[in-house]
Structure 1
């Protein structure tokens, strides 16, 4: 596959005078003027709406996306305004304000890697270790749940499915995010836009004891300075009445200066989108479109206070899609074919050396260390290639009396290839020994004559492994409507030659229009969702374990390397697995109220056979093998009430959500063997199994939200997003022990007596509640005789509230942050 490796320059620094205008909320203005007074003007065409209903679907239109406060401009950040979506407690951390990757999201209690991400209906999920996050891992590289990171400017619509999800979507057990990219406009146009923020426009909330260390940070885990630039150009080019082209380039760039060996040195992050879309309306019955998206991600790092340690993490990739739509009198057929190639790779120095700080290796002394570190962790390449072919058929049957029937069915076939490769041997040298009379001989790389030599090393051997997954999914859904009752039964069958499981997922959704006028609708559903496997499991099996070696001296002469005795290494071994699944029950209603829509919903989910791992005994070869198992499980319960209304120039959404989630493990790398499942602890004065403890993250119980957007006079618009986050209880092991009372002690039948035991006490660590305001103020009009000019200001945490978050005490979210931007459209 040919990749265009393109490096673009950083946009010039934008200079703007920030004018913060705080409009007065006026409910008199909100209700002035009846929609009936202007019947030809639909509110949605001006403001947009989310259309939050009990049926489990919410939509962000292009109009609404333009009005939302946006930080890095990623699709995931837009989901913050939608119900049943939770971000990590570490989201918008004060420690890492310079990062640009899309945040992880949990939907309806699902884990962050259990969602299905789609771009124009095609899978955008990465199977290359999506929860890996450590850039300094010698044996691996960071991953992400998504293959490509799409800029929100390319989205025509973002559709979220959080419950009662149709059968055409499969291989997930969380939620579904389907991004529909925009089509070329019918008129020629050019759009330029640019946005900027920096540390001077940001308030950092920190633990005072950590502030001095933060400002002098040399690690990417603490970023006191940063500047971000987001911008691009979009060209709509109508070739003819039937053919249109859209060309778009957008870049998000971040510069993060850090201290490195006594000097300022920057780390950079860059995500680019090169987008081409062509549309061909052949005739009234045939339509075609072609999409090419190249979205590389690049992150420059260095190891803290290590000389010659610069390395690059590469992600993202390329995808091409062809769609053909065939329309006929009673339905349509859609054919999709797509190819994608994505990577998670590292370019780094091949060897790591941990010297003693001496006159010949002095740089460790600059930072007060006894050691001078040097080098890197070696090149690593992980690649995922996908081919998808989908056929979707919709058919409207002739009505039979009061019975209306719509059929939907289809087939989805995919081929996925994963590759892990360390092309060259990489070595980590450590444990230096100062020896003034040492003789290095031929080894002048890990030894200095008359000074020191390195006595131990881990040799990471070159290795390569390739694995494939062939999968097929078939689905059928029958949507029946009889008078006031709508029933949507469906069945989905999935099979792949990796797990070799045939997964049958029945789904049933019901709606009852109570009075037949659409004002009161009752909703219900019973569904099963099967997840997917990851290439991670098989690719890890192909990794060769590092060889541990040591050496000494004889008569001051450095000897040859030899195996280090009794070294324990853990190695992956593939095991036969069941496919994780979630069973769901949904009850809800939609009620017309006060000119708007009141909705309520209850969702209960139970997750089974979720991935975890377990270790086996040490084998005769000195290796300890671990396997992935299906010991994980989870539970989620939520209640939601919302009310929304769209006026001629305003939109308001009020939402309250209560949820509670518990899970045996956070991700598939958690050790969860039979012994762990039986491990008990004290929690809230009760003895519970450790696996039944509440989740430590994505578990705020109560959330109140208000989204209000309005069109103001003179070309101004304003959006306010207010959130109340209830107090949050994070789990902590107090390391105190408490005896089990006699009535709950286990009985030893061999000794004929109760077993006296003490268990660790787990306690809640309370994080306080908070009210947060995010604003967006925009203006669009003519400036100095030039039409199509716009300014925008996105302000987050307007009142600079201090929010303790994170999974460790003393971590806080960012305070007030301002983004300023401009755009020009011709």
Structure 2
């Protein structure tokens, strides 16, 4: 065991929090000391220069949670740097800010079972945009694509099962993600999207890092939350004995420096770290006790801006964002699994003006790492003899070996915009080279079926599955070496023309895409028309657009993996000794989901949208009313398997060949209303959305029979189905609430020293497929019964507050409190949790920020 009790680590985290807080306070005090000392030594008749003059009438209004795009971009919403900083959650997850937008849907919020893995999960939320799946969106960081082309660990879910025999847990839809402290703005496009953007059938999320400041500045922050700042709620209907409340800690801190080197060169250097630890309780059969596992996410950013002659600008930057999560199962020993993700991006951009034209060239590179480190062998050992660390009949030790998984993207793009024929012409091209790899570098084994026997003799001293005088394993499953590599070349070009004629603006575009993996050439027409109506300053915008998706490597990866092999042996009783040799006999050949080759088309989505925008009479502000219809076709799904018989070690066996097809379809209908107003020192943002999503594209691929979730069957609608079907069906239901509403409010007080922002989110009733707690016996086997479970409407309120305790001549120290689920509520649920009854209620983050 790595460490029987990790409270020491917890104490280190608490100590680190105190140390960082004290250090930050000391730095802030040191930075501000000259001004304070000056004020103290100034003559009594002189007004100290460090004391600000309070002018309440001059207070600026708080920024709204987001702004609308232009009328022609009716599906665009823009979050400014200040809006990101003001409304950011304590976790620093940028995607969480998109809850306020009408076109986005999140999975079930704060109502799932609390697990040690979920409490220390620092990855961003997954979202659906305009009815698409979480993997259908396009994510960019400073213009660099950050989508993973690998499947999520468990289809339809974001798996938190690190101890999987062949997959890496925690693969997120975004391969690289950064903290809100480094963000300069977010733009979300959910409909009526320009031809400049492609490779999505959901939406586009553009995140940009902030630029270096034009004056010397050092900024830092620290924040903390944990179980002592969390309210734990008990799931309705739970009647058992309450276990001990969960225990976790989260610490987040940052430090950045803005460095204007010359009048034309400025540099930003920044570091951000978030870490989380949850305390596990080891199973009583393994001795009990507490121990902890740690997760951390880091962001390094180095960004340089150079103003060149002839109105040119050079941007060079590197972002390094590693993510690591440790895991030790409570029912086993020597089973530490370290999961890696995140990666590095680099960018060189040159932009300028040539005559009346604006142009830009960029060279980008992104590398992401999705590996795991784990013990190579897994043992099921019998109790007795040397196995004195476990009280069960069989005891687990070890893991399932290392898995290496990486993705490298290199791209070169160009943009050209100029006036033409009374309008604006926008042209561009993109070339992208993607190289993806997944491998098992060494054979892994799972040893099973050993029995304690003092007569055991090992014929070979190198037999790791035999312990003399104790036991020997009689069976093992071999997980073979594989190395999958694929290179994908993608090229795209687009042209778009925008012109106003008699008060009506037309934007017509055409996008061409080619990708070598699917080998398809696609054309995406885009058309948007907007014009002002003769009533109340209202502008109407209509759009007809087609969007094409991108490659999905799941099938190719799975077909490259070898089948698992099963070997067995028996001992030979000789002279009162039970001798075991390493003469293993092959008894079964496992055949994974072998997908037949298929000539697949590229998935696409056709969209019709209509939007109205205008000023709000009498009350002020602006509003947007929008309707979106999406019909998605040629979605890649798995056809029903074709059973084939083969000879497996001199006996007939069957396996199933699955073939991917373009039989998947989905439809989305959504309507939304949004309102934004700033007044006095306040801002108000309101959005509400009705939507309906229908799809038969839940089943992207099947799992081979050796995977637990694929082989476990349950009863649903009177039939036996795989748990994977349930998971994939819930993927759609989780992101398809028929009605959601959001209200965001921000304000500034006390000469802008006090900032308050709150968000209210209403989620209407929705359904999921879940375990009912009932069992049904079929053919002498008991199966869990699953059925549609209804959730009642819920209201969730968040509140952020910050106060500048010191503010003088650019020096600033700010105290912060960020509260999630302010009123301590969770959605009601009609089924109780049988083992872990806890749900998360109110969560408080406390912190401070300083600037010099």
Normalising by the residue count of structure 1, what TM-score does the alignment of the two structures yield?
Answer: 0.85
State the Cα distance separating 1:235 from its structure 2 match: 0.3
Alignment counterpart, residue 162 of structure 2, candidates 108, 114, 135: 135
1:600 aligns with 2:625: yes
Deviation per CA, 1:37-63: give whole Å up to 9, x if none: 99999857x567433777000011011
Change in 2 beyond 3 A, CA 1:159/1:783: closer
Deviation per CA, 1:105-152: give whole Å up to 9, x if none: 111111001100011122111112235423121111121111111111
In 2, distance between residues paired with 1:590 and 1:376? 57
Deviation per CA, 1:375-408: give whole Å up to 9, x if none: 1110110111111011111111253xxxxx1111
Change in 2 beyond 3 A, CA 1:545/1:258: same
State the Cα distance separating 1:621 from its structure 2 match: 5.9
Q: Check conservation: 2:564, 2:590, Cα contact below 8 A.
A: no
Q: Check conservation: 2:87, 2:800, Cα contact below 8 A.
A: yes
State the Cα distance separating 1:616 from its structure 2 match: 3.1
Structure 2 residue runs of 5 or longer lacking an equivalent are 1-11, 23-54, 649-654, 705-715, 720-724, 775-783
State the Cα distance separating 1:809 from its structure 2 match: 6.3
Specify the alignment match of 2:607 in structure 1: 584
Pairing of 1:150-229 with structure 2 (within 5 A): 150-207=178-235, 215=243, 224-229=246-251
In 2, distance between residues paired with 1:378 and 1:190? 44
Specify the alignment match of 1:13 in structure 2: 17
Change in 2 beyond 3 A, CA 1:239/1:194: same
Specify the SS of the correspondent of 1:696.
helix
Q: Check conservation: 1:727, 1:767, Cα contact below 8 A.
A: yes
Specify the alignment match of 1:33 in structure 2: none
In 1, distance between residues paired with 2:454 and 2:785? 53
Specify the alignment match of 2:386 in structure 1: 360
Alignment counterpart, residue 257 of structure 2, candidates 235, 239, 251: 235
Q: Check conservation: 1:662, 1:693, Cα contact below 8 A.
A: no
State the Cα distance separating 1:588 from its structure 2 match: 1.5
1:314 aligns with 2:331: no
State the Cα distance separating 1:815 from its structure 2 match: 0.4
1:427 aligns with 2:453: no
State the number of aligned residues: 750
Specify the SS of the correspondent of 1:78.
helix
Q: Check conservation: 1:611, 1:632, Cα contact below 8 A.
A: yes
Change in 2 beyond 3 A, CA 1:697/1:474: same
Change in 2 beyond 3 A, CA 1:302/1:802: same
Deviation per CA, 1:284-330: give whole Å up to 9, x if none: 42111011011100001112321111110011111101111021342
Specify the alignment match of 1:257 in structure 2: 279
Specify the alignment match of 1:625 in structure 2: 657
In 2, distance between residues paired with 1:42 and 1:325? 34
Specify the alignment match of 2:768 in structure 1: 730
In 1, distance between residues paired with 2:232 and 2:594? 42
Alignment counterpart, residue 457 of structure 1, candidates 460, 476, 483: 476
Alignment counterpart, residue 825 of structure 2, candidates 801, 815, 824: 801
In 1, distance between residues paired with 2:123 and 2:358? 38
State the Cα distance separating 1:456 from its structure 2 match: 1.2
State the Cα distance separating 1:370 from its structure 2 match: 1.9
Pairing of 1:246-645 with structure 2 (within 5 A): 246-260=268-282, 261=286, 262-365=288-391, 369-397=392-420, 399=422, 405-442=423-460, 444-515=463-534, 519-555=537-573, 556-559=578-581, 560-565=583-588, 567=590, 569-593=592-616, 594-614=619-639, 615-620=641-646, 622=648, 624-645=656-677
State the Cα distance separating 1:340 from its structure 2 match: 1.5
Deviation per CA, 1:564-607: give whole Å up to 9, x if none: 14755434554332111111110110121121112111111111
Specify the alignment match of 2:688 in structure 1: 656
Q: Check conservation: 1:287, 1:325, Cα contact below 8 A.
A: yes
Normalising by the residue count of structure 2, what TM-score does the alignment of the two structures yield?
Answer: 0.82
Structure 1 residue runs of 5 or longer lacking an equivalent are 1-8, 18-36, 217-222, 400-404, 673-679, 684-688, 737-759
* C-alpha RMSD of matched pairs (Å): 3.3
Q: Check conservation: 1:214, 1:224, Cα contact below 8 A.
A: no
Q: Check conservation: 2:265, 2:306, Cα contact below 8 A.
A: yes
Change in 2 beyond 3 A, CA 1:625/1:806: farther
Q: Check conservation: 1:305, 1:364, Cα contact below 8 A.
A: no
Q: Check conservation: 1:591, 1:598, Cα contact below 8 A.
A: yes
In 2, distance between residues paired with 1:761 and 1:565? 32
Q: Check conservation: 1:313, 1:346, Cα contact below 8 A.
A: yes
Change in 2 beyond 3 A, CA 1:516/1:472: farther
Specify the alignment match of 1:676 in structure 2: none
State the Cα distance separating 1:411 from its structure 2 match: 0.5
Q: Check conservation: 2:375, 2:401, Cα contact below 8 A.
A: yes
In 2, distance between residues paired with 1:307 and 1:761? 33
In 2, distance between residues paired with 1:813 and 1:243? 51
Change in 2 beyond 3 A, CA 1:761/1:341: closer
Deviation per CA, 1:477-504: give whole Å up to 9, x if none: 1112112211111111111111001111
State the Cα distance separating 1:786 from its structure 2 match: 9.9
Change in 2 beyond 3 A, CA 1:14/1:258: same
In 2, distance between residues paired with 1:692 and 1:301? 28
Specify the SS of the correspondent of 2:558.
helix
In 1, distance between residues paired with 2:773 and 2:87? 45
